[in-house]
Amino acid sequence: MGWRLCACGAVALLLMCVPAQPTAGAPPLSSAGPILEEMGKTLEDRSQPTLERLEIIKTFGDWAKAQVRPPLVAVLKDQQPEIRAAAARALGWPGNDEAVSALRECVETPGETVAVKAAAVLSLGRIGDRSARALVVSFTRDPDASIREAALRSVALGSLVDPADRTFYLMGLAEDRAVEAQLRAEAIRTLASVKEERVIESLSRILETEPRLTIALPRGTPTDQQVMTLRYAQARDVAGWAAGALGLLEARTALPLLLRTAEDPKDYFLRLMSVRSLVAWNVPEAYPVLVRGLEDPLPDIRVLALTGLARLGDPKALDSVLARLSDASPAVRALAVPTLGHLGGPKVRPQLEALQQKESDPRVRDALEAELSRLAR
């Protein structure tokens, strides 16, 4: 068994030397060398350890050439559901039309397991054979979430997209809470370029009803692991992406929602995306939210709040902005300088000159020099 596992690890190097074969016709595995042929025999031998067979299936799926199609199709009839599901997934490479019939049979076989059906539906979508689209579409309403997700992914984001109904399936994918959150977020980002009333209504429903995440910032400078954890959470923050998409769509009907989510106490990413949308719209209703945003624990939000207040140009914000000259973040201090000059004009020169005497950060010093020079003109 040991040499076989080594072969799985090394086979990619061997396969690089094998010329690509046309998809119509599957040359024997022996044409790719004795190791690959032996792997094919091991895969079809039901007496072999399941783990080893699964490793071979993964290797064949990564290679995605015509030579590996026959053994993969053969084990779609295996007694073990996990083998059948792995083989169905492995057959899903673009243009593998010759596997469509076998994958259809998996999907349509009465009593087949959910895992196998979901893998087969997903592969049909990845292959991209338009003759399978109607079958895949029929599973977008399947009661099982994994099958439904596989079908929706294919017709909304995958190789079976049709512009005529893509928006409908994107909305279905975005609103389906049983679907993996990162996939829903991807659908929402795609919808952000579709300026239609039904899309705005869909995104507003998501923003209003989606359960809120708790995404808190770590204390101090985050470690690499903490940064990765935060990025993972952000990628799955469906409400946050909905807030951002509504901003891009200029969906002013969602203003009351965004004013609330801009101050969500637990999810800083939702706050960030909501404030960003409010700043882009430059609406006076956002003024009190932006003033309070100057106290947000996230520097990026404080920067956005300063940007928004500068755009609004309301001098009532002067004292609140003045307090940001002593902000712990140099980025915030640097932006507070021109914001003060914009809101207060020459009367803020004393405060800026006082800061210039003690400021050490080069970004802030550059901002001070530029603003004081402008005010002197």
Q: Would you say the C-alpha torsion 245, 247, 250, 253 has a positive or negative sign?
A: positive
User: What residue type is 15 in one-letter code?
Assistant: L
| Residue pair 135/154 in contact by the 8 Å Cβ criterion | no
**Tens place of pLDDT per residue across the chain (377 aa):** 443 444 444 444 444 444 444 444 555 555 556 777 888 899 999 999 999 999 999 999 998 989 899 999 999 999 999 999 999 999 999 999 999 999 999 999 999 999 999 999 999 999 999 999 999 999 999 999 999 999 999 999 999 999 999 999 999 999 999 999 999 999 999 999 999 999 999 999 999 999 998 887 777 777 888 888 888 989 999 999 999 999 999 999 999 999 999 999 999 999 999 999 999 999 999 999 999 999 999 999 999 999 999 999 999 999 999 999 999 999 999 999 999 999 999 999 999 999 999 999 999 999 999 999 998 87
The b/e string for 254-280 (b: 16+ C-beta within 10 A; e otherwise) is: bbebbbebbbbeebbbbbbbbbbbbbb
The pLDDT score that the predictor gives to residue 35 is 77
Q: What is the pTM of this model?
A: 0.86
**Helix, strand or coil for residue 121?**
helix
Nearest-CA neighbor of 300 among 367, 206, 214, 234?
Answer: 234
Q: How far apart are CA 172 and CA 357, in angstroms?
A: 58
The pLDDT score that the predictor gives to residue 229 is 87
Query: What are residue 267's phi and psi, to 5 degrees?
Result: -110, 100
User: What residue type is 279 in one-letter code?
Assistant: V
> What is the residue-wise DSSP string for 157-208?
TSTT--TTTHHHHHHHHHH-TTS-HHHHHHHHHHHTT---HHHHHHHHHHHH
- Residue 217 is classified by DSSP as P
> What is the residue-wise DSSP string for 319-364?
HHHHGGGG-S-HHHHHHHHHHHHHHHGGGGHHHHHHHHHH---HHH
- Residue 47 is classified by DSSP as T
> Per the structure block, which two tokens stand in for 135?
């079958």
Helix (H) or strand (E) holding 150: helix 145-156
The pLDDT score that the predictor gives to residue 87 is 98
Find all residues with CB under 8 Å of 202, minimum gap 6, and list them: 171, 174, 175, 191
> What is the residue-wise DSSP string for 269-319?
HHHHHHHHHHHHHT-GGGHHHHHHHTT-SSHHHHHHHHHHHHHHT-GGGHH
> What is the residue-wise DSSP string for 54-94?
HHHHHHHHHH--GGGHHHHHHGGG-S-HHHHHHHHHHT--T
